Structure 1
Amino acid sequence: MRALPSLLAGLLTAVLLTVACTDGSGRPEVRLGVGATVEQRALAGLTRVTLEELGLEVRVVPDIGDTVDVRAMMLDGDLDLYWDYTGAAWSLGLGRAQPSADPRESFEAVRAADVANGLRWYGPTQANATLALFVRAAERPADDAGTMSWLAGQLATVPGGLCADEDFLNRPAGYAALADAYAIATTSVSTVAAGEAKAITSVASGECYAALATATSGTAVSAGLLPVIDDQGVFPAFVVAPVVREGGRADTEAITQALDEVSARIGTLDLAELNARVTAGEDPAEAAADLLGAE
């Protein structure tokens, strides 16, 4: 395993002095909540590598469920740390309306709102796990030209149309809202109801032109697809960030500084590639160590 940034080594002594609870072996223990997705397992791998480099024992509490379930355990004091998504926390965890599409605004709003709940948001990463429409890499224009505005025109003229899950296609805040924002000629665009995995394979095989998936989809990356840019900001931001419980075992300057350092190195494509490796069967911690050790 290649070493993490030198910052982590310099924090080791401070961590050992400030985290009192241990796992019985004398190593300080932090309880990490993990949701029931590949991405949550990948993020758990990042956390394990980061905290174990600091001499901590990470006790993973796996397959908890969604944002609401993990937050509930945090608020009950049963966890010290987990990774959340700003859009999910805003809508599901906090019960607020109109989540922002701007990543920075989304993060700042959730961070401020959760202070009253004793949850401290750190980072954030540059990874935005929002929804996105994917096309084959060969079809997407280079750089900033590969936008939803471009895709809206393509969908009306090219064969294949859009593959997306049935809920997105039918609810007013889904396809209808997207079509309204981008002036998509829905009467000229064929749509196929398909879950994320099926939508991705359908685009890769040429059956569909575009697929709806999360922007950090490892399956889409592995299939050679690229997301288009949501230039009108229709999809809410789902910024990925570590969340620490106030007064918990991870609530130390040394640990949160290490989490900030790791978060700064993770972008949307980085997380998608990490997800792809975990989906393919690679151990999350080994894949994370390779990512963090890369120059």
Structure 2
Amino acid sequence: MTRPGNRAGRARALLVAPVLALALLLSACGLGTSGGFSRSGRLAGDLAGVDLSGARIAVGSKSFTEQLVLGKIAVIMLKSAGAEVSDLTGIPGSSSARQALLSGQIQMQWEYNGTGWISYLGHSDPIADPRAQYEAVRDEDGRLNNLVWLAPAPANNTYGFAMTESTRQRLGITKFSELTGLDPSELTFCLESEFNNRNDGFEPMARLYGLDPDSVQRMIMDTGAIYSATAEGVCNFGEVFTTDGRIQALDLTVLEDDLHFLPNYNASPVLTRDVYDQNAAAYDELFGAVAPLLTDQELIAMNAQVDVEGREPADVAYEWLVGKGLIVEE
């Protein structure tokens, strides 16, 4: 399963094809992004004095819902600060978005520290402590690629296993470690094929928690189908992404990964060094105000507005920023 889910997100290896595709897109008609119009406002409260007049910056994102919402948040904040912003959100594929940043076609995007560490920097083992994981990515990507990782959001869009509220009440569990106390007949899992087969996926996770992966029932299906299958009781435990809006919409509960097997995927604003250095204090202040507010529940709610209610990511992002008092309407 790529990161995240149906969102062609955090690929575990940088492939040649996406890079070639990016080159073709750049030479033909740009990045092939969704872009579109985003309203801006006026910075409010403690941010009112931040001024990026004269700054020019192209903001990118990947093409799945959460990345579009985060990308639009960045676009709106930068425009509201007076910057001239090119909206290149919606780049198809993790590899293409990364190459756009490395090549300077975009100068900012939100990125996940687990993706940076494993997919882009090539490490096989995640770092369990969220702060240590962020600092390791920040330092190495800065040294090797001249990229600046700003402080991360608390939201962690990692893998998880969810169950319905009725299943939670019936089984009386909240943690993955508690699965060992269940009758084997209750150990039914809906999984996407990649996570089922990866050497850092379901089987090593099960073994860490004392489960025999060969003794549980596994149903392999497309990522999008897992949410509805779990909600309908096809399996007791479905593989999900922990900030997906369907968790809230389907009233699912995510089991706590209490032995911390799963990698951390906290999102940070990432900028090219040359652009960051021109207005470092302003970028620090802007995104230092935004990032701490992006909790799991905030992203789940915004993602649900897009995926469940069919709203536009730009509208969801704008209303969230107004609601948090970061901008006011002009």
Equivalent residue number for residue 123 of structure 2: 96
CA distance in 1, matches of 2:176, 2:118: 24
**2:61 pairs with 34, 44, 52, which one?**
34
2:65 and 2:313 in contact (8 A); partners too? no
Offset, 1:214: 1.2
Offset, 1:124: 0.8
**2:153 pairs with 125, 145, 154, which one?**
125
Equivalent residue number for residue 271 of structure 1: 299
Offset, 1:212: 0.5
Q: Structure 1 residues 242-251 or 98-107, which shifts more?
A: 242-251
- 1:158 maps onto 2:186 in alignment: yes
Is the partner of 1:77 in helix, strand or coil? coil
Per the alignment, do residues 151 and 274 of structure 1 end up closer, same or farther by CA in structure 2, a change over 3 Å counting?
Answer: farther
2:62 and 2:89 in contact (8 A); partners too? yes
TM-score norm. by structure 1 comes to 0.86
Offset, 1:155: 7.1
2:161 and 2:255 in contact (8 A); partners too? yes
Equivalent residue number for residue 229 of structure 1: 256
Equivalent residue number for residue 10 of structure 1: 49
Return 5+ residue gaps in structure 1 as ranges: 21-27
AA aligned opposite 1:290 = E
Aligned CA RMSD, in angstroms, stands at 2.3
CA distance in 2, matches of 1:111, 1:156: 43
Equivalent residue number for residue 243 of structure 2: 216
1:91 and 1:99 in contact (8 A); partners too? yes
1:4 and 1:293 in contact (8 A); partners too? no
1:134 and 1:210 in contact (8 A); partners too? yes
Equivalent residue number for residue 287 of structure 1: 316
After superposition, residues 239-250 of structure 1 pair within 5 angstroms as 239-248=266-275
1:85 and 1:241 in contact (8 A); partners too? yes
Is the partner of 2:211 in helix, strand or coil? coil
Per the alignment, do residues 46 and 137 of structure 1 end up closer, same or farther by CA in structure 2, a change over 3 Å counting?
Answer: farther
- 1:135 maps onto 2:163 in alignment: yes
AA aligned opposite 2:101 = M
CA distance in 2, matches of 1:29, 1:176: 47
Return 5+ residue gaps in structure 2 as ranges: 1-39, 325-330
2:165 and 2:251 in contact (8 A); partners too? yes
CA distance in 1, matches of 2:278, 2:181: 49
**2:202 pairs with 162, 168, 175, which one?**
175
- Report sequence identity in percent: 27
User: Relative contact order (C-alpha < 8 Å, sep 6+): which is higher?
Assistant: 1
Offset, 1:281: 1.9
Q: Structure 1 residues 58-67 or 36-45, which shifts more?
A: 58-67
1:67 and 1:89 in contact (8 A); partners too? no
AA aligned opposite 1:289 = Y
1:140 and 1:228 in contact (8 A); partners too? no
Equivalent residue number for residue 256 of structure 1: 284
Equivalent residue number for residue 24 of structure 2: none
Per the alignment, do residues 69 and 152 of structure 1 end up closer, same or farther by CA in structure 2, a change over 3 Å counting?
Answer: farther
Equivalent residue number for residue 113 of structure 2: 86
Offset, 1:30: 1.9
CA distance in 1, matches of 2:200, 2:257: 15
Per the alignment, do residues 239 and 88 of structure 1 end up closer, same or farther by CA in structure 2, a change over 3 Å counting?
Answer: same
2:276 and 2:283 in contact (8 A); partners too? no
Per the alignment, do residues 212 and 257 of structure 1 end up closer, same or farther by CA in structure 2, a change over 3 Å counting?
Answer: same
Is the partner of 2:201 in helix, strand or coil? helix
Offset, 1:127: 0.9
CA distance in 2, matches of 1:250, 1:216: 32
